[in-house]
Structure 1
Amino acid sequence: MIRYNIEIGKYIAKMTKDLTITTDISIPPPPPNRALADGADWVRLEGAVCAISDWREMYMQHISGDVIVPDKVLMFKRRAPMLGPAHRHGRFVLIIPIRTRADVIIDQTFYRIGPSQALMVFPWQFHHFANFEEEDLTWLFMTFELKDEKQIASLRSTPLTLNDQISQNLITLTEIYEARDASVSAVEQEIRLRFGLVLQQLQRQVQRQIKPFSGESGDVRSAAVPHLSLFESVARYLLDNMEEPVSVDDVAECLAMSNSHLRERFRKQYGMSIGHYIRQVKMHHAMRLLSTTDLSVAQIASRTGFQSVYAFSRSFKRETGKSPRQFRDSLISE
């Protein structure tokens, strides 16, 4: 497994920020003009060519179950800690640490991941990085779109283990992506299909793993239980009170802490303020509802704990730069 991580790291290290890469292909000179011996030879050649399996059809034979074909695949690397503002977007993101461990927060769940592991972020999920073990790192990010997220539902809120087969396919995929010619549609299609195969393999891998605490509403644990970490306690309180106004004072009271002590501990441990975390989780929840449901803006305001639609709209625009209606309209127009 270590060998595969090193190999993947080598290919990722060569990838540049300029994601439109072309290659000069040296075409050998044609052979001297020579006619086929007779018509029969031509017929045999044509028959042999027609007998070759279409590469896409042949590739599909290796994918069991429902075929996953992601759209608009984008791969890039990070070589320094990502400590800026929380990210928000409507794309899937497969996060693969090649070198260095770190903490990843996705919505109400806290993970510690490193080489040979991966995490999937779904559209409009809050995600934040903290506590990198080293400044010198290599992390691979693979973002994409998918028409039906149910195809990879098992990858949500689950740390993924990269076995040898998945690692080898990632090496091949990275090589193809690095040397691709964006003008050749067949290459882009192969990238999509190969990545789809990786997603399929990850799902099979999940079936062999025990799913951890996911922070979903079906696995509720009280935020006041002493053995839970600070983050889990805060996240659980926020999840249980998503439809209520939540302040830092409310959380501090629930955890029997002073406001200042809670703020200090949370920022020190997770690299962001607790107020920022509360706002971002609520905003990302609102974005998911706007993008996946037909609920009115007023209903979404209520479900995210705002006492009026006007307060919700002001807060939403302050965080995203768009009103809730503008945000929903922009998704329809894409």
Structure 2
Amino acid sequence: MSDTTALRRTPCTTPRAGDPPMHRLQVRLPEQVPFAAGTFDTIGPMSRAAFPHRHTFYEIVHVTAGTGAHVVDLARWELRPPHLGLILPGQLHHWEDARGLDGSVVLFTEDFLLDHPGDRDLLRRLGEHPWLTLDGPTHARTGRLMAELVEEYGHGADGFATVLRSLLHVLLIRTARLRGPAASAPPAGRPAAVAEEFARLLGRTGAEGRTVRECAELIGVTPGYLTESVRAATGRTPGTLLREARSREAQRLLAHTELSVRQIASRVGFDDPAYFCRFFRRETGRSPGDFRKHHDRRDPSIEDGVRPA
């Protein structure tokens, strides 16, 4: 598990000159499940990275011990455990002067949310309050649930990916309820309003079929200004995020409906089914038919060959 997150000579995306490193998830073979769970120790040294970096995946941390601070974008939180924290894809974060850091870590890509597509929007909303200080009972409940995720992932028994998705869904729902005394208010430094509006738009049904220009018009800004705002907040472009949303929705429809490839192509904004098939193969490494044929295996996951952004 020491190489779960990308280290030297493991798959990292190449940043532009002057940009911080962008790490992606190294999935476990042979299941190819884009998910990992463990302690700070078993996940590896990158889970305590003291230098600013970004991920292409989500990270949930349950901090049970330690001193120092956790910095996300422009927000800085002093460590006074227990905490529950969320780092979104594209956010810049690092651990500052951390000593004795301990707890559990869960890592997953948006592809892993195939069974619960509504969780993507829930995660974006949770990102508005990404650092929570837990009271005693909440800390205990969270610890038990995180322990179940770690145990299930470690055993890898038949159907474990489905169980992991269900446990993760419960964790997100329970976290969304923490908006009272158990939740500490986040400091200043939230993303720009335009980027937040784009994230909300991206979470709506049918958004994956829109172009960047159409999204900009709905928000009331120019395409150039939308691109600048989203890149500043996430490190990625609106076009990249829309392309990934198209791919995720196509995978969901292939896995869970009887719609034809032509119908699915139209649903996600492609007039030409052949062009859609080329797009889908480029994004996932499989044809739509092959994805549909193999998706109902006992250990369901995004099929091997999915290319991280």
**TM value normalised by structure 1:** 0.47
Higher gyration radius (CA): 1
Gaps (5+ residues) in structure 2?
Answer: 5-34, 64-68, 181-191, 300-309
Residue 298 of structure 1 deviates from its aligned partner by: 1.8
The 1:324–1:276 alpha-carbon spacing in structure 2 relative to 1, beyond 3 Å, is same
Distance 1:177 1:238 in 2: 28
The 1:328–1:163 alpha-carbon spacing in structure 2 relative to 1, beyond 3 Å, is farther
Deviations 1:223-242 (A, max 9, x none): xxxxx921233245455682
Equivalent residues of 1:244, 1:304 under 8 A apart: yes
Q: Where is the strand percentage greater, Structure 1 or Structure 2?
A: 2
Residue 163 of structure 1 deviates from its aligned partner by: 3.9
Q: Pick the aligned partner of 2:48 from 51, 76, 79.
A: 79
Aligned residue identity for 1:117 = L
Runs of 4+ in 1 over 6 A off after TM superposition: 112-115, 135-139, 172-180, 198-202
Give SS of 1:332's match: coil
Residue 134 of structure 1 deviates from its aligned partner by: 5.0
Partner residue in 1 for 2:93: 132
Residue 315 of structure 1 deviates from its aligned partner by: 0.9
The 1:207–1:270 alpha-carbon spacing in structure 2 relative to 1, beyond 3 Å, is closer
Deviates more, 1:307-316 or 1:160-169: 160-169
The 1:304–1:269 alpha-carbon spacing in structure 2 relative to 1, beyond 3 Å, is same
Counterparts of residues 143-292 of structure 1 (less than 5 Å): 156-157=122-123, 159=126, 162-168=134-140, 206=176, 209=179, 229-238=193-202, 242=206, 245-292=209-256
Equivalent residue pairs, number:
217
Partner residue in 1 for 2:268: 304
Give SS of 1:95's match: strand
**TM value normalised by structure 2:** 0.50
Deviates more, 1:93-102 or 1:291-300: 93-102
Gaps (5+ residues) in structure 1?
Answer: 1-14, 19-71, 88-92, 104-111, 121-126, 211-227
Aligned residue identity for 1:140 = V
Equivalent residues of 2:230, 2:236 under 8 A apart: yes
The 1:73–1:274 alpha-carbon spacing in structure 2 relative to 1, beyond 3 Å, is closer
Partner residue in 2 for 1:100: 70
Residue 318 of structure 1 deviates from its aligned partner by: 0.9
Residue 248 of structure 1 deviates from its aligned partner by: 2.4
Equivalent residues of 1:96, 1:118 under 8 A apart: yes
